[in-house]
Homo-oligomer: A and B are copies of this chain.
């Protein structure tokens, strides 16, 4: 039904960042300009098709800049846009949160204590 108009900006970013590849690609691009084949080498398990698809998605989102040079064989380069670079620390923050949360949880901060109800089962 297409109600995915996502009035909420968070829903919209998540549509771009969700999945296994977007954040990974952003991270490899953080290191600098990469060609299509470089990214394939960085991510051996992504399929040719998916890489192209994800890159187009990131490009449409304004995160990635695609630059095509003529010639033969073809040569195309990918970089983070300024906006793309600005999102990196935000993603980092999530990673840091995870490390902290995971560590805290493994510690002693654990589970639920039954509140007045011995859960049978």
What chain B residues lie within 8 Å of A94 (beta carbons)?
10, 13-14, 17, 87, 90
Asked if residues B11 and A24 are in contact (CB atoms below 8 Å), the reply is yes
What chain B residues lie within 8 Å of A116 (beta carbons)?
69-70
Given known contacts A3-B45, A105-B83, A114-B5, is B13 in contact with A98 (CB within 8 Å)?
yes
Copies in the assembly, this chain: 2
What chain B residues lie within 8 Å of A118 (beta carbons)?
70
Measured between C-beta atoms, what is the minimum distance from A108 to chain B in Å?
13
A: number of interface residues (CB 8 Å): 56
How far apart are the CA atoms of A76 and B20 in the complex, in Å? 32
A115 contacts B by Cβ under 8 Å: yes
Given known contacts A94-B17, A101-B83, A105-B62, is B68 in contact with A114 (CB within 8 Å)?
yes
What chain B residues lie within 8 Å of A112 (beta carbons)?
5, 7, 65-68
What chain B residues lie within 8 Å of A91 (beta carbons)?
10
Given known contacts A18-B18, A105-B62, is B69 in contact with A8 (CB within 8 Å)?
no
Asked if residues B92 and A10 are in contact (CB atoms below 8 Å), the reply is yes
